[in-house]
Amino acid sequence: MQSSSKDSSAVRCHFIMAPSLTTVIAAVLGFMIGTAFPISSFTKFEISSLKFMYGGDTEDLSSINNSTDIFKIYEPSNPKGSETLPPGIVVSESDLYQHRLWGNPDEDLPLKPKYLAVFTVGYQQKEVVNAEVQKFSENFTILLFHYDGRVNEWDEFEWSQQAIHISTRKQAKWWYAKRFLHPDIVAAYDYIFIWDEDLGVEHFDAEEYIKLVRKYNLDISQPAVDSSRYIVYPVTRRRNGTEVHTEADEAPGTCPDHQPPCTEFIEIMAPVFSRDAWRCVWHMIQNDLVHGWGLDFVLRNCAEPARYKIGVVDAQWIFHHATPTLRDQGKEENSTANLAQAIHARCYLELATFKDRWRHAERDYYIIKGLIPANATEHFTRFP
């Protein structure tokens, strides 16, 4: 990971004032005690020094840990692992705001962006990505995941110098999302855009998009798509004359059962999640399945009622260039065709794995709840 900061040398606070005498004594004592014990008796060292600090009291240390000690902090409603902290000090959520290193922390942020726009990018696509970012106002934090190791080159764009950059070579969008977009870390943002790098945005404006998403209460959404190519899922196709739609309007009979991908469905190419929906979706992303295939079919489990809360925004729409991108990264070590083929195969493998895991998880749940009908498959999620 690296930040966009130009000051690559670490910036730290140094104590400028002379340390107090007690600090020096404590440090020296700590050093002496530390060197007096070999590593293997490190625990012993901790205990004896603790006694020392508590004033040489010979009382058994276990009483410090005894629940009858009413001053021993234990707050079960604290986040897991932090029960021994006074709740008032616990900060369980964060954001991606960048602070100054000086001044009053309260005054660091003239503007706290309410939305987060995330792009997974390679430098070859810089013009398209630049055009995409232009459509996001100052109310957005811009975060780039770089899969080609080229980060500094982006500084030719002024916005890049304020953006967050995370660089790890040759990873896929959902690999980054799982690792760097934990819901507690991005908790400050009302909406999170997790977009591909090959989207045409001539007819898209992010602020206008947010207005529509709020108006229609969409927890999970995407802009409608226009494409020179075949559109895989008709529900995503742009419609003329409406602001939002939630169901494919194909020829009667093609979508008889009101299931994804006809409704309660968006693609994973340009999704937009509300804070709550993202908290749910993040948990369902599998650590090892980096392409995210199959996720779109179960997004409905993260919006209630999905019928109304998952939708496609027609009034702000995008064009899908469908350029093979990450694939090109393999050129130097394998033929692009080969690699593209191998990636494609991996995508299908991941889809099969995900479906399998999902079905087992679903069935296990029904069994535990005593709703076993293992043959009641109509309650199971349908995948393609």
Closest by CA to 47, choosing from 238, 59, 268, is: 59
- Give the residue, chosen from 81, 241, 253, 305, that forms a contact with ligand NAG under the rule CB under 6 A: 241
Q: Where are the alpha helices (DSSP H) in the chain?
A: 21-36, 42-53, 126-134, 173-180, 206-215, 275-284, 295-298, 306-309, 336-368
- The residue range among 33-41, 86-94, 264-272, 372-380 that interacts with ligand NAG, by the rule CB under 6 A, is 372-380
- The residue range among 9-17, 146-154, 294-302, 335-343 that interacts with ligand NAG, by the rule CB under 6 A, is 335-343
Q: Which residues pair with 274 in a beta bridge?
A: 191
Tokens read off for 95:
């954001």
For position 67 contacting ligand NAG by CB under 6 A, the verdict is yes
For position 43 contacting ligand NAG by CB under 6 A, the verdict is no
Residue type, 307: R
For position 376 contacting ligand NAG by CB under 6 A, the verdict is yes
Nearer to ligand NAG, 139 or 167 (CB): 139
Nearer to ligand NAG, 7 or 158 (CB): 158
Pick out residues in 127-146 that bind ligand NAG (CB under 6 A): 137, 139
For position 242 contacting ligand NAG by CB under 6 A, the verdict is no
For position 217 contacting ligand NAG by CB under 6 A, the verdict is no
DSSP character at residue 92: -
For position 58 contacting ligand NAG by CB under 6 A, the verdict is no
For position 81 contacting ligand NAG by CB under 6 A, the verdict is no
- Give the residue, chosen from 66, 92, 254, 323, that forms a contact with ligand NAG under the rule CB under 6 A: 66
For position 338 contacting ligand NAG by CB under 6 A, the verdict is yes
Tokens read off for 370:
């005593």
For position 152 contacting ligand NAG by CB under 6 A, the verdict is no
CB of 291 closer than 8 Å to CB of 346: yes
For position 240 contacting ligand NAG by CB under 6 A, the verdict is yes
Element (H, E) at 186: none
Nearer to ligand NAG, 152 or 377 (CB): 377
What's the closest the beta carbon of residue 131 comes to ligand NAG, in angstroms? 17
CB of 339 closer than 8 Å to CB of 327: yes
CB of 258 closer than 8 Å to CB of 201: no
- The residue range among 275-283, 285-293, 321-329, 332-340 that interacts with ligand NAG, by the rule CB under 6 A, is 332-340
Tokens read off for 323:
């350029």
For position 23 contacting ligand NAG by CB under 6 A, the verdict is no
Burial class (CB in 10 A: 0-12, 13-18, 19+), 273: buried
Residues contacting residue 280 through CB under 8 Å, at least 6 positions apart:
301, 302
Q: Which residues pair with 105 in a beta bridge?
A: none
What's the closest the beta carbon of residue 62 comes to ligand NAG, in angstroms? 4
Q: CB-side exposure of 52: number of CA atoms within 13 Å?
A: 10
Interface residue list for ligand NAG (CB under 6 A) = 62-63, 65-68, 137, 139, 207, 240-241, 333-334, 338-339, 341-342, 373, 375-376
